[in-house]
Structures are given as C-alpha cells and as structure tokens.
Structure 1
Amino acid sequence: MDESAQLLDEKILTFMDQLELLEEKRARLNTLIEQGWFFISKARYSMGNKQVSALQYASEIKPQVSLHVRTLAHDNVEFSSESPKYNSECHNTNAPVEVIGPQEEGIRRRIKPTKGSGEMEAVEELSHKKSHEDLPASKTEENPQQNPLHWFGILVPQSLKQAQMSFKQVIELSAEIATLQVQILNTRQELMRRFQEKDERKKKKGDLRGC
C-alpha cells in the first residue's frame, strides 16, 4: 500500500508539471501569433494593403514544412516539423554557377610556328573541348521550394521577415504542444486507472473486515 501510494503521488506530480508546461507553451504560442500578425500589419502599412495580401500568392503553392509523427512507448506520440529545404540550398557554395554568354567550342593557344606546333595545337584544342564538355549546363533547374517572401517583391521590409520567423516558430511550437497533449492524456488515463485500483483495494479490505 505504501509503495502504490508513493507511485500515485509521483504520477500526480508529473501530471501537474505537464499541465504547467502546457500552459507556458500555449501562452508562448499566443504571443508568437500576435507578434506575427502585428509584423504583417507593419508591412502592410509600409508597403500598402494591396502589396501584402492573397493577391501576391503564387499560382502553385507547395508546402514548405512537413509534419512527422512517431509512435513512442506507453502509447505516446511525438510530432516534429521539418524545416524547408531552400534555406540550405540558398547558402550552398558548391552549387553550379550559371554560365552566361556565348561559349566557344574550343580555345586555341597561339604560339609561334615551330616544328611540331601543329600537333601541340591539336592536342590543346582536344583537351579544351573535353574540359568544356565536363562543365555543368548553363541553365540550372529551378528550385521547386522558393522563399514565400519573394512573392511580395525582392526587397521586402524587415517586418515581413519577422512575421515569417514568428509563424515558423508557431509551427514548431504547435508540434511540441501536440506531443505534450498526448502525454497529458496518457498520464490522466494512468491516474484514473490507479485511482480505480486503489478504490477496489479499499472495498476488498472493507469486505474482509466485515467477514
């Protein structure tokens, strides 16, 4: 009885800690949403209402964030969000550089005509042709996942960027809240089960005393 009562007390303390953490995360979520809409209002004030609206959305919109669900032990579920890929691609310094302008088939090196110069010129021309064939294509494939800020122009105000960062944090925090809510529901069910077992033990103990 003492051991079961101690486990029940620990479970209640865990349940209270989870509720307190959930309240903090929900307050943080509301704050981020308010900040995001406030920064959007500032961007509309500086750029104009018609410049920051649904009219600037792309014709084809693809999701920038994907949500992953993973099942854990004790019926717990973990939600996680994956960041967009264009951030890493934009800062990739090893990406192929687009070649602009007409390109010659081969580059010849002008040297003084000497004996065997024709053979040397032919070898150099062949090597330059081979190296030119190894160059990347002049037109690179367009990144399918673009920054949504570019819908509203190239030079957008800082307030619009801050709004994007706020709503990105909202998505990440929403996944954390969903994970915590599942944990709270499982803890609540565990508490109810332990309370029922405690009541049943009390009834059995009372029946034995009556006999």
Structure 2
Amino acid sequence: MEVANICQKLDEAAIKYFEILEELTERKKRLQDGLREGFFSLSKARYSMGSRSVGSLQYNTTNMKALASVEVSDECGSCTFFHQRREPTKKTAKQKQAGSDKDRNAEVQSTESQVRRRKAEENGPEESELEERIQELSIEEVTIQDPLKWFGILVPAALRQGQNAFIEAVEQCVEIATLQNKLMATQLEYQELMKTKMELNDKTENVDDTEEGETNVGRTG
C-alpha cells in the first residue's frame, strides 16, 4: 500500500470522524432538551393533579411490561443498536372475563395438573379437551397497558407531553450509543492507518539510507 493511498484514507477517516462527532453532539443536545421537557411536563402534571397523584404509588412494578426494547447487531464490525417500541394493547373479552394475568397463570397450572391426572387414568377424550384448553390459554396475548392509565383515564395534557418527551429521549439514547461505537471504530481505523504509514515511512527512509551509503562507497572506491 502506497503512502499516498494511506494519506487519502487518513483524510477520509478524519472527515468521517468529525461528521460522526457532529451528529453525536447534536443527538446529545436533543437528549438533554427532551429530558428537560419531560421532567418539566411531569412537574406541571403533579402541580395540576396533586403530588400524590403522580408517583410510584400509582403503579405496581411487579406487573410492568416494557414497551421499548433494544436489539444489538454486530454485522459491520461495531455494535449497532436498534430501538423497537410496541404499542399498548387492549384486553380481549376472554382476558377481561378471566381476570388478571396471575389468575390466568394459575388456571394454566391447574389445567396442566388435571392433564397429568387424566393421563394417569388413561382417559383419552378428556385429555384432548384439557390439552386444547392449555394451548388456548397459552396463545392469548399478554396485555400491555399504556403507562398513562396508571394515573387515571383522563390525564392532563402535560402528562402526555412528558410521556412523548421521554419516549423521544429513549430513542436518542439508542442513537447515541450507536454513534459512540462508530466514533470509536473510526478512531481505531485512523490509528491503524497512521501506524501503517509510519512503518512505510521508516522502510522508505531505510532504503534511501542504504542507497545513499552504496553511492558514497562507490564514489570512494
């Protein structure tokens, strides 16, 4: 690899580095603005609804289900993060009739125990009916409630604005993580190119010194 080619790659890596750095700075600013707006909207909602109406007493952490998830891909040599968000689901008629998820799980366990007893008694028709009921309970969708409904049905606009701001902040966090990995990968690429360039320069200098020495010996002779 010629030195001129390496110098060109070094220039490209430097330009790429600063482009990523500029985008990263912009993303961090958006994150800061989003968090500021989110907390400000949350404080406005607490002021209008009352400090005790918006807090940890309004939800149960044991029954929480995440609406946002992050997937990691390592195809391009550096980790890339992808943000995915599920929409809140509504309870079906079967789920409303069955009750909470805890009751549904208890029903599944009870039905499984009945299947085991029926298998021991070798009752074919009852086995198939109970197994079908297990499959029916297993494929029912798990409901994911909108977090806004933890605080009531009719919530102030400030609380909804705060939710939107925090959703945007989560997306910015994922983008920031991806950009930071790209920035580190570009920096490592630049360092490797510099190392290669220095090695080539050293070899070129050694060759020049050898040729100059041979020329001086020839003149002396």
TM-score normalised over the length of structure 1 = 0.72
Summarize the alignment of residues 1-211 of structure 1 with structure 2, pairs less than 5 Å apart.
Answer: 1-58=3-60, 59-73=62-76, 75-86=77-88, 89=89, 144-211=143-210
Runs of 4 or more above 6 Å deviation: 95-98
Q: Distance in 1 between matches of 2:142 and 2:199?
A: 64
Q: Which amino acid aligns with 1:164?
A: Q
Deviates more, 1:35-44 or 1:198-207: 198-207
SS at the partner of 1:51? coil
Q: Distance in 2 between matches of 1:38 and 1:62?
A: 25
Q: Which amino acid aligns with 2:204?
A: K
Unaligned 5+ runs, structure 2: 96-139, 211-221
Q: Distance in 2 between matches of 1:96 and 1:156?
A: 25
Corresponding residue for residue 109 of structure 1: none
Q: Distance in 2 between matches of 1:97 and 1:205?
A: 79
What do the CA deviations read for 1:51-79 (whole angstroms, capped 9, x no partner)?
11111122521222111111222x12221
Taking only aligned residues, the RMSD between alpha carbons, in angstroms, comes to 2.4
Q: Distance in 2 between matches of 1:11 and 1:155?
A: 53
SS at the partner of 1:69? strand
Report which of the two has the higher share of helix.
2
Unaligned 5+ runs, structure 1: 99-140
Q: Which amino acid aligns with 2:196?
A: E
Q: Which amino acid aligns with 1:39?
A: S
Q: Distance in 2 between matches of 1:189 and 1:163?
A: 39
Q: Which amino acid aligns with 1:64?
A: L
User: Aligned-pair distance for 1:85?
Assistant: 3.0
User: Aligned-pair distance for 1:195?
Assistant: 0.5
What do the CA deviations read for 1:78-120 (whole angstroms, capped 9, x no partner)?
211211232xx45xxxx7799xxxxxxxxxxxxxxxxxxxxxx
TM-score normalised over the length of structure 2 = 0.69
Q: Distance in 2 between matches of 1:142 and 1:80?
A: 24
Aligned sequence identity (%) = 35
Q: Distance in 1 between matches of 2:82 and 2:165?
A: 17
Q: Distance in 2 between matches of 1:80 and 1:195?
A: 32
Q: Distance in 2 between matches of 1:163 and 1:41?
A: 9
Q: Which amino acid aligns with 1:70?
A: S
Q: Distance in 2 between matches of 1:143 and 1:37?
A: 30
Q: Distance in 2 between matches of 1:5 and 1:70?
A: 31
Q: What number of residue pairs does the alignment pair up? A: 165
User: Aligned-pair distance for 1:3?
Assistant: 2.0
